[in-house]
Structure 1
Amino acid sequence: MEPIAVVDEGLGNSSYMLDLGDGRAAVIDPARDPRPYSRHARRRGLGVAYAVETHVHADFVTGTRELAADGAEIVAAAGAELRYPHRGVRDGDRVDLGGLVLEVFATPGHTPAHVAWLLRDGEAPLGVFTGGALGVGGMARTDLAGRERTEELARAAYRSIHDRLLALPDELPVWPTHGAGSFCSTDAGGERASTIGAEKDHNPLLTGDPDEDTFVARLTAGFGSYPAYFDRLPTENQAGPRVLGRPWPALPLPDLDVNAVQDLLARGAQVVDARPIDRFARGHLPGAISDELRGQFGTWLGWVVDPTRPVVLVVDDDQDLDELVRQALTVGVEDLAGRLAGGVETWRAEGLPLQTLPLIDVDAIDRQDVLDIRQDAEWQAGHLPHAAHVELGALATGADVPVSGATAVMCAHGQRSMTAASLIARDRGTDQGLEVVAGSAQDWAEVTGRDLEHGA
């Protein structure tokens, strides 16, 4: 029996809808937007009866309460200490789904109270929903409950995998929540599902049957930085996110005239410009943060905005506002004040100032400083010999900018570097001297015939 995978490619996560065979369904690790589950359920004539959690999530707002508002029962580990109505379960408990059974496997590691769910038909195992305890080619990180607990939880993860999960049959399907593209995951492969046997043979954390110390060293070596909002979402998910109602999301996003935007800015609002970077480059509101609407929009939005301040959005009419709002709400950015009616042209028509951030090709990099804002692992894999480096996420949380003069900011394609340049321009109070490279380090090497440097 294969569950229906609902994949959020931007977050790198999968949730699962399980047809229980009696007109009901269960959803495991639902994201906040209930509409995909509702669509799948309607097509199959199902009602969602259960919303099941493997752990308290850091990278997205749980959707269990949205499903509960339509009648689903929330089922989660008692140790997660959720502060809203749910059925709390413990290791070895079985949840009877009306023929099918979900058995609780305590698998601490990614979080202290993490559980996996073994799906059974009677006594026959059908598959295991592993959450972050075991993924395709990796598992989820163990430092999100506090860096002081990283090693303790990594050792717990070793025991969870070796003593519990790897004792299951080799042919048993593995259905993880975190996968490729997730900042929660380490070294995840491109596939979204696997088997116990395949992970024994191919998961870099497990090959060679490592002892506990070796496993911990391999696991923690794969940790990079993670979005700032990961530090606050577990608390919000424990407390219970607010239900946004029907039709989802029951959250107005008004059009704002120029006067309203100016008033909001005077009271501390921040501007997020979701237009493609070439449009942002040609003109944007002073102090605006560039975050192009794409699959990773929500991740970077949650990383770079101040969650205590309202967000004014700048978009073009041809952009998908529903998708923008969905991604914002998924990462817990709810104080969306509205969008600038008429966009940048309305601002320009009022004679108000705009800033520019020129896009340049890699062959235009000359004598200016180069600032590479990619993740550490990307930087180490190859960078310009004379470039300075700081991660975009660090810039967003107050790191010093290691350059001060004329600067070309670069990443792999341009979106992240435009975000970085917009943050620097905001903090400097000027866009002068900043340019954004529309290309990668590898593009530069191919154009110039020069070698990249590798390592730190």
Structure 2
Amino acid sequence: MPFVHEGLGNASYLLDLGDGRAAVIDPQRDARPYLQAAHRRGLRVTHAVETHVHADFVTGTRELAHHGAQIVAAGAAGLAFPHQGLGDGQRLDLGGLALELLATPGHTPEHAAWLLREGEQPLGVFTGGALIVGGVARTDLAGANRTEELARSAYRSLHQRLLALPDALPVWPTHGPGSFCSAGGSGERTSTIGEQKAANPLLAGDPDEEEFVRRLVSGLGSYPDYFTWLPEYNRAGPQVLSRAWPHLPSLPLEQFLAQAMAEQVQLVDVRSTKAFAAGHVPDSIAIELRPQFASWLGWVIDPHRPVAFITDGHTDRDELINQCLGIGYENVLGDLAGGFARWQAAGLPVARIAFAEAEDLTARPVLDVRQRSEFGAAHVPGALNVELGSLESAELLGGVPTDSSAQRPLVTMCAHGQRSMTAASLLARARGNTEGIAVFTGSAQGWAQRTGRRISSGT
């Protein structure tokens, strides 16, 4: 049974062992969905199994261990908390079923795929990031100096281990559509070995190792900053929260002003782009709460400094704290009780950001903050591409237009408006005001349709 985190693009799996017990493969931090699903089916989760040390989400194995599960991982992972470590070819006996560890380095040095067997009959393989639908997971997370080395390891893991399995064997990856861990990939989450032999672009034409490495490495884009520190956090062992799962504190205005407005605190506004544009706390950063919220929080907000939030009556506050904790952001002060309406009612300073129309883009500097691959596929002619995750460093280095004329403001854009509003708020914070900054909430294709002009491609 898969559990899909659409925002991070990953899947975990609840495996019924057939005797009232269950195992969870690559659980995310909040273990409650797995435990509740198991309970509904009359199952008890007895094993929590990892394919690799994750960079994109906090592992939930310790949460499940708190409820009685045995943690199982590759011994090579070097986990610093109690677990059962297995080596290549060793099997985890699960009664009538077994999970056999297949050492598949590439995405990470210690990566393991788990081959599910009933006796000697293979039933499916949990591939983590060693093989995903339409690609493999990226090989640059252990450092740029190991990217090619691990790409070669990924080639050998595929050809010597995974592609040698039966063509009809189901493939159950962890990473999938929307994951920044993915390199390549399609819109599907599961497949078979045979389907991937036939349709995976990295394997098209049966490339040799050199061509495979070239294809894989050339397709690597950027990834969120938190990927650089989360693996060690996971390796050391995350704090167990199941004893009392945290709720987001709600701070009265006086307390909010005293604590959340301190210089070192980062203020994030999670309301819609429309609400933020109409009025917001000066110097706050707009990151709309949506499935992808955690990725952008982890890309633009410093994990070492406290964070506080501006919400409104539409905010799912439990979802907000869960997404923070799911990527290791634990230094959360809370949100303002009564939301932005309370701030405004108190007569405190309010900033606003203007929206731009499609017709405005032909006469104003345009900053497109999408990923490089998105920009290359289609963009407004003449637009400057600076990825959102790199924007603050580009601003400091003078790589962003500084025209602050109210008559000719800089326009930020992405595909739907959320990233472009985040970009506008970062620029406003860096410059000290919102003057000369406007946001276009449409896409390049939408601009072309509304103006009758042609879009450009390439970088």
TM-score in terms of structure 1 length = 0.97
Structure 1: distance between partners of 2:392 and 2:308? 18
- Counterpart pick for 1:455 among 442, 455, 458: 458
Q: SS where residue 184 of structure 2 aligns?
A: coil
Letter in 1 for 2:317: L
Q: SS where residue 266 of structure 1 aligns?
A: coil
CA contact (8 A) 2:264 2:305 kept: yes
For 2:343, the equivalent position in structure 1 comes to 347
- Counterpart pick for 2:315 among 279, 303, 319: 319
Q: How does 1:113-262 map to 2 (within 5 A)?
A: 113-247=110-244, 249=245, 251-262=246-257
Letter in 2 for 1:52: V
Question: For 1:205-255, what per-residue CA distance to the aligned partner results, in whole angstroms no more than 9, with x for missing partners?
Answer: 0111110000000111110000000001001000001001245x2x24221
CA contact (8 A) 1:389 1:402 kept: no
Q: SS where residue 297 of structure 2 aligns?
A: helix
- Counterpart pick for 1:287 among 283, 287, 293: 283
Say if 2:77 is the partner of 1:80.
Answer: yes
Say if 2:272 is the partner of 1:272.
Answer: no
By how many angstroms is 1:187 displaced?
A: 1.6
Which blocks of at least 5 consecutive residues in structure 2 are unaligned? 404-408
Q: SS where residue 281 of structure 2 aligns?
A: coil
Structure 2: distance between partners of 1:72 and 1:290? 39
Structure 2: distance between partners of 1:452 and 1:117? 46
Structure 2: distance between partners of 1:397 and 1:145? 23
TM-score in terms of structure 2 length = 0.96
By how many angstroms is 1:24 displaced?
A: 0.5
CA contact (8 A) 1:141 1:184 kept: yes
By how many angstroms is 1:366 displaced?
A: 4.9
Letter in 2 for 1:402: V
Question: For 1:46-67, what per-residue CA distance to the aligned partner results, in whole angstroms no more than 9, with x for missing partners?
Answer: 1100000000000000000000
Structure 2: distance between partners of 1:413 and 1:453? 18
Question: For 1:361-381, what per-residue CA distance to the aligned partner results, in whole angstroms no more than 9, with x for missing partners?
Answer: 323335221110000001111
Letter in 2 for 1:263: A
Say if 2:261 is the partner of 1:263.
Answer: no
Distance change (3 Å), C-alpha of 1:321 and 1:285: same
Distance change (3 Å), C-alpha of 1:397 and 1:139: farther
Structure 2: distance between partners of 1:439 and 1:252? 35
Q: SS where residue 134 of structure 1 aligns?
A: coil
Say if 2:337 is the partner of 1:368.
Answer: no
Say if 2:413 is the partner of 1:416.
Answer: no
Structure 2: distance between partners of 1:259 and 1:367? 45
- Counterpart pick for 2:18 among 18, 21, 25: 21
Structure 1: distance between partners of 2:70 and 2:240? 15
- Counterpart pick for 1:429 among 432, 445, 449: 432
By how many angstroms is 1:267 displaced?
A: 4.4
When the two chains are superposed, the root-mean-square deviation of aligned CA atoms in Å is 1.1
Distance change (3 Å), C-alpha of 1:200 and 1:366: closer
By how many angstroms is 1:262 displaced?
A: 2.4
Q: SS where residue 365 of structure 1 aligns?
A: helix
By how many angstroms is 1:326 displaced?
A: 1.1
For 2:300, the equivalent position in structure 1 comes to 304
Percent identity for Structure 1 against Structure 2? 59
Give the 4+ runs in structure 1 shifted more than 6 A. none
CA contact (8 A) 2:247 2:321 kept: no
Q: SS where residue 344 of structure 1 aligns?
A: helix
Letter in 1 for 2:256: V
By how many angstroms is 1:438 displaced?
A: 1.3
Structure 2: distance between partners of 1:184 and 1:402? 28
Say if 2:446 is the partner of 1:443.
Answer: yes
For 1:330, the equivalent position in structure 2 comes to 326
CA contact (8 A) 1:107 1:157 kept: yes
Question: For 1:240-281, what per-residue CA distance to the aligned partner results, in whole angstroms no more than 9, with x for missing partners?
Answer: 01001245x2x2422112232222222411111110110000
346-355 or 298-307, larger mean C-alpha shift: 346-355
For 1:101, the equivalent position in structure 2 comes to 98
Structure 2: distance between partners of 1:110 and 1:410? 32
Structure 1: distance between partners of 2:288 and 2:163? 42
Q: SS where residue 139 of structure 1 aligns?
A: strand
Structure 2: distance between partners of 1:434 and 1:61? 36
CA contact (8 A) 1:395 1:420 kept: yes
Q: SS where residue 7 of structure 1 aligns?
A: strand
Letter in 1 for 2:300: V
29-38 or 398-407, larger mean C-alpha shift: 398-407
CA contact (8 A) 1:303 1:396 kept: no
Distance change (3 Å), C-alpha of 1:223 and 1:363: same
